[in-house]
Amino acid sequence: MFTIITIAYWKLPFLKKTINSCLNQTYKDIELIIVNNGAFEDIIIYINKIAKLDKRVKIINYEENIFSWDDPELMSQVCLNAALKSAKGDYVFFTSYDDPMALDYVERMVRLFEDNPDCTSAAGRPVSIDANDSVNKEELNNRKTNFRSKYMPGHELALATLEHKSRVFGAPGTIFTFKRDVLLKYGGFHRAIELGHLYGIVPFGVTGFDEDAIYYWRRHEGQLHLAVTSRGQIGTKDVFSMIEDLDLENKWSIYGDDVARDVVKVIKNQQAKIAATWFSQNLFKLRISACIKIVRDIWSQPKFWFYLPKTIFRPWRLLRSLLRSFLISLFHINKPILKPILNYVDKKYPRLNGQSAIFNKLMLKVKE
């Protein structure tokens, strides 16, 4: 059996598409666990209805929404581990409510495990879609990352990621399926969920990959990470607690003490660089409270202060921020004129959809 976990709260149209992609898989031995995280009424009605129609669906209910702006990943830790505790599948995969998958995705994941008994984690290839389900053809047909063999030692994948070898691995969120007993052995779902998977579980086994297993991650304005990062919540505390909670240095020592120390050091340095980048982005948008939050969480790390000047004093970054604000303001004033022009450009030059953040922002305004 293959267990899929998702969390339901809002945005019913997206949730329906994700759930349909789960229940219509070519691999039928599926358990779908939906965590009702204090959801809106239309969500509750829908998931209760499908649970009555399909015995493969199991619902875990929370009357109140488990979420805090001061601790955004509390939701992941509580909801996902509750679902994991209830899971019966040999393999476990978490999908966000707005990310559907290709209908043969599960079948391809199971095949990776069955073809290699040493395989403890598996992943497909992420391809972005927009709010209207339009697939990013550039990512689909001309990928620039996730070039790796069908099987490889998990620690080599993690080290390649730490060394910025982006052609080996890249994903915008959770992508790994795990053997359930392995996921439980290494502590389940940590608050730093993606990094907890990549550096706390994947390295200690063989990891499988199927380039034809497509997982669609959705870009849209309602994405939670956009809201939390604008408040200065960038996961710094979660990353540093992950290092301690998962005892990373000790576990990685099986590959050598020097390697273990370097892994922890690089993870901390990368988070410091991320913090500096988000500080400058929020600063340019005058989100002072967000900047203060970021500094409070990272101030004791020397690398943050090393990276900070480099992220702030980049004229092009400031100009880009000002240009984006100007274009969006201009669009609101001249929408009747600009809308047909942007639609034409979108059709004529589809690759802009995946390469230009400014263009993406304007196209979202067109479709409002």
pLDDT at 91 over 90: yes
| pLDDT tens column, 158-180 | 999 999 877 999 999 999 999 99
Q: What is the mean pLDDT of the chain?
A: 89
pLDDT at position 333 = 47
pLDDT at 195 over 60: yes
Question: How far separated are the first and last CA of the chain, in Å rounded?
Answer: 41
| pLDDT tens column, 60-78 | 999 999 998 888 889 989 9
| pLDDT tens column, 202-239 | 999 999 999 999 999 998 877 788 789 889 999 999 99
**C-alpha angle 47/52/56, rounded to 5°?**
85
pLDDT at position 29 = 97
- Residue located via tokens 């209207």: 132
Which is more confident, 187 or 222?
A: 187
pLDDT at 299 over 50: yes
Architecture of the domain made up of 2-224: Alpha-Beta Complex (3.90)
| pLDDT tens column, 308-319 | 998 887 655 555
| pLDDT tens column, 2-39 | 999 999 999 999 999 999 999 999 999 999 999 999 99
The β-bridge partners of 92 are 3, 178
Please state which of the ranges 103-107, 234-238, 266-270, 316-320 shows the lowest mean pLDDT. Answer: 316-320
For the chain, give the secondary structure using H, E and C: CEEEEEEECCCHHHHHHHHHHHHCCCCCCEEEEEEEECCCHHHHHHHHHHHHHCCCEEEEEECCCCCCCCCCCHHHHHHHHHHHHHCCCCEEEECCCCCCECCCHHHHHHHHHHHCCCEEEEEEEEEEECCCCCECHHHHHCCCCCCCCCEEEHHHHHHHHHCCCCCCCCCCCCCEEEEHHHHHHCCCCCCCHHHHHHHHCHHHCEEEEEEEEEEEEECCCCCHHHHHHCCCCCCHHHHHHHHHHCCHHHHHHHHCHHHHHHHHHHHHHHHHHHHHHHHHHHHHCCCHHHHHHHHHHHCCCHHHHHHHHHHHCCHHHHHHHHHHHHHHHHHHHCHHHHHHHHHHHHHHCCCHHHHCHHHHHHHHHHCC
pLDDT at 344 over 90: no
b/e burial code for range 93-123 (CB count within 10 A of at least 16 → b): bbbbbbbbbbebbbbbbbbbbeeeeebbbbb
pLDDT at position 234 = 94
pLDDT at position 72 = 87
pLDDT at 353 over 80: no
pLDDT at position 220 = 83
Q: Which of 165, 161, 102, 128 is nearest to 355 (CA)?
A: 128
Yes or no: say if 249 and 260 are a contact pair by the CB < 8 Å rule. yes
Domain boundaries, the chain: 2-224, 230-313, 317-366
